Structures are given as structure tokens and as C-alpha cells.
A and B are shown apart, each in its own frame.
Chain A
Amino acid sequence: MVKPSLFLWGVAEITAASRSPLSLSLISHRAPSERLLFWAPSKMSCRIAQIHKVSSHSEVYEPCDDSFALVDALLADRTNLLEHKPTLCLELGCGSGYVITSLALMLGELPGVHYIATDVNLHAVRVTRETLQAHNVHADVIATDLASGLDSRLAGLVDVIVVNPPYVPTPDDEVGQEGITSAWAGGVDGRAVIDRILPVVDKLLSDRGWFYMVTLTSNNPLQICRQMKAGGYASRIVVQRSTEEESLHIIKFWRDSGDPMCKKETATLKKTSSGKVMDSVLSQIHRLPFWKKVESND
């Protein structure tokens, strides 16, 4: 997500193609029965949203590195999500619909999951609906600012929240504008909207809820994790990715209440290369190397 909307289809397609090795390497960590399913072409094609089926509009942010990183994070955590059996899943700022559609597809085998997606951009909610329909999955889509209108009745009910916020540092007066600007303009340090999102998430997330968010290094993800920790949340980085333009972290948060799934969270931590943020986050919680998870699953 770079400030000017310069992303071309070519960029997106190259990135999409480069995703295959990750998907392949992940699948080898799964149970044999699931591995067989993966190799069936029909199953392979419906695991996540297909770029050519994602609808578009000149005022809607197209899937790019940050979107792919978030979907990769969800894919990397898919086995956990399937065991977690969420009832309500919510995306704030659904844009093209690529992420919520991918989530619905990758959890498609779970019965009784309800998806809700919101965006402040009227073009985006329409494009999201088209993307969902093109993949034959359903989410209720609402044009609203974050979760405005949902936050009282939906408080404490949402099991999974995914957010790719407008994280690009900009002058504050660029925040809150209409159209595609709302997809990237993040104010000072890119934190203006993120800082509004965190309390909303805290209100909506169920006790066992999981929250996945894209952050840029400039957003000071370490400080975000500390702030969330003060509110009772543990966190880990699911995917870390650097491109020519930016360095992204996809962080997962959950209430650190010691329930079994939280303990499982601790046991499935991925050992990742060093980095100030990574080290700091991991130093807060007990961890096991990723390869232990691989062994146990195989």
C-alpha cells in the first residue's frame, strides 16, 4: 500500500504468482488427508479468492502486497482457525473483498460461519459484493465507518476480525477523505485510523476472539503490541514481509486469558528471523519453534 495508487495489474499478478511456493510449503505441514485434497485441482483453486475474479473500480483499492500478506497469514493459521470454529467473522475495511472472500473460502468446510464486511467507501462495498458473488460465497456487506451501527449489538460476539487498515503515513488532513484515499491515508505515522480501530476491536471481539491486522514498520507495531498487551492481549507476528516499498507485519492478537486455545497459540508460534519488533513481541510470551508444530502435525 503505497500512497499514490500506482499499483498495476502486472504487479499484483507477479505477486500472486510468487505466492505459490508459500502455499505449497504450508500444505506439506498438514495432515495426509488434507494434503490429498490440496492436490485435487478443484480444491486447490477454491482455497483463496482468485485475482481474475476480484471485481474492481477506479476508486477501490486493488489487492496488493499487503492484501496478499494478510491472506497468507490467514492461510498459515488456517488449521488453527478450522479448529477454532468461529461463528462470526468480520472484516473492517473490506475494499475489493479479496480478504473476506478468501477467508470464507478457506473456512468453507466449516458449517455455520457468518461473515460480515464493512467499508466506508460505497464503491468498495459494491465491489466486495461482486467479488463474493463471483466466488459463490456470502458475507453481509455494510457501508459504514468501521463498525458504526454494529458495535453495541455485536459487542463481544465476533470470533475473528481481520483488518488491513489505511496505514500509510500522511498529513492528518488526508484522513477521512472519500474514495480510494480512505484505503491508504493513515495520518501521522499511519496511526490515525489504526488507533480508532483498536478500541472497536476490543469491544467486538469475543473472549476467544482472534484479531489479525496488517501493520507497516512506520506504524510502530511494537508500540501497538504493548498497547494491546496493556489491554490484556497477547500477540504474535504471523507473517513478516518486506517489499521494495515497505516492510509489513501481519500481527495476530488474542485475549491472554489462559484458555486452551490461547495455550495452543503459544505452542504454535512460528520462529522467525530477527527484527526489533519480532524479538520484542516474542520476548513477552513463551514460544516453541515452528518446526515442532510441523512435526506434531505430520
Chain B
Amino acid sequence: MRLLTHNMLSSNIKGVINGFPLGIVVEKVIEKPVEMNPDFLKNMFAKIEWKALVDASRSMGYTELPEQADSSMLDSVDFLQRFHHALLELHLEEGALVCPETGRKFPVNKGIPNMLLHEDEV
């Protein structure tokens, strides 16, 4: 799972109000290089919760994102490369996502988060 998807995913447990962002427990991270597309990044930037991306990438061992970002930084190739790497090249392969409100862990195996709920959570 890429951090782009992590940035779009919230805890879906019934009754949870602040289910975003999910914490990350890392067992295995893999990096898969993909070609950078500046237009995609510029398009996605406004839709990304920046702090969630910064924290998630740190959990994954990548610390090169600035704490804060604004759209003027999208003119910098260096910034785009870091944003691209964090958003699209880091994959959580094994580990868990953690509901920020309840602490409930959603396991991630073979890169697939299991967001299926137990009967008492629906």
C-alpha cells in the first residue's frame, strides 16, 4: 500500500469520529521506483493531508519531507522528488494500520490492508 492510499484511508469502525490519519506499525517497507509525473503531484497536492503524509513517511523511515508545505513549493524539482518518493514509491508491505481513536489494529499483509470489521464494529 502506497502512502497516497494511506492518506485516503480512515478508520471505519462504527462510532469513531476522528478516524484519520491511521497510525502505521511497520514490519516491512519496500520501495518501488516509478516515473515521476509532476502534473499528477501538482494535482494531488491540494488533496493530500500534508501532516499525515509527513508522519506516515517518517513511520516508514523516510524523513526528507518538510514539516510544512504550500503550493509554491511545487515549482521545486527537489521538493517534487521528495513528495513523489513519499507518496508513490514507499509501500507498506507488512505491518498494521492503527485507528487513532480506539487503537484497533488493521493488519497489512502482502501490502493489503484488511479493513474488514468484526460484527460488533459495524
Q: Do A and B associate with each other? A: yes
A interface list, Cβ under 8 A from B:
87, 111-114, 116, 120, 122, 125-126, 129, 138, 140-145, 148-150, 152-154, 157
CB < 8 Å neighbour of A143 from B4, B40, B88, B113:
B113
On chain A, the residues within 8 Å of B43 by CB distance are: 87, 112
> B85-122, CB under 8 A of A: which get 1 and which 0?
00010000000000000000000001111111100000
Q: Is the interface of A mostly helix, strand, loop or mixed?
A: loop
Closest CB-CB distance, A200 to chain B, in whole Å?
A: 12
A129 to B112, CA, bound (A): 8
Judge if B73 is at the interface, Cβ distance under 8 Å: no
Closest CB-CB distance, B107 to chain A, in whole Å?
A: 9
On chain A, the residues within 8 Å of B11 by CB distance are: 149
Q: 9 additional contacts, CB 8 Å, given A129-B112, A142-B112, A144-B12?
A: A112-B37, A114-B4, A129-B111, A148-B115, A148-B117, A149-B19, A150-B8, A150-B9, A154-B8
A208 to B83, CA, bound (A): 26
A149 to B110, CA, bound (A): 19
CB < 8 Å neighbour of A111 from B10, B19, B40, B47:
B40
Known A122-B116, A149-B10: A129·B110 in contact at CB below 8 Å: yes
B interface list, Cβ under 8 A from A:
1-2, 4-5, 7-12, 19-20, 32, 34-35, 37, 39-41, 43-44, 47, 49, 88, 110-117
A140 to B1, CA, bound (A): 5
Q: Is the interface of B mostly helix, strand, loop or mixed?
A: loop
On chain B, the residues within 8 Å of A148 by CB distance are: 12, 115, 117
On chain B, the residues within 8 Å of A120 by CB distance are: 116
CB < 8 Å neighbour of A125 from B7, B8, B40, B112:
B112
CB-based contact A122/B20 at 8 Å: no
Closest CB-CB distance, B8 to chain A, in whole Å?
A: 4
CB < 8 Å neighbour of B40 from A87, A129, A152, A157:
A87
On chain A, the residues within 8 Å of B44 by CB distance are: 87
On chain B, the residues within 8 Å of A157 by CB distance are: 8, 47
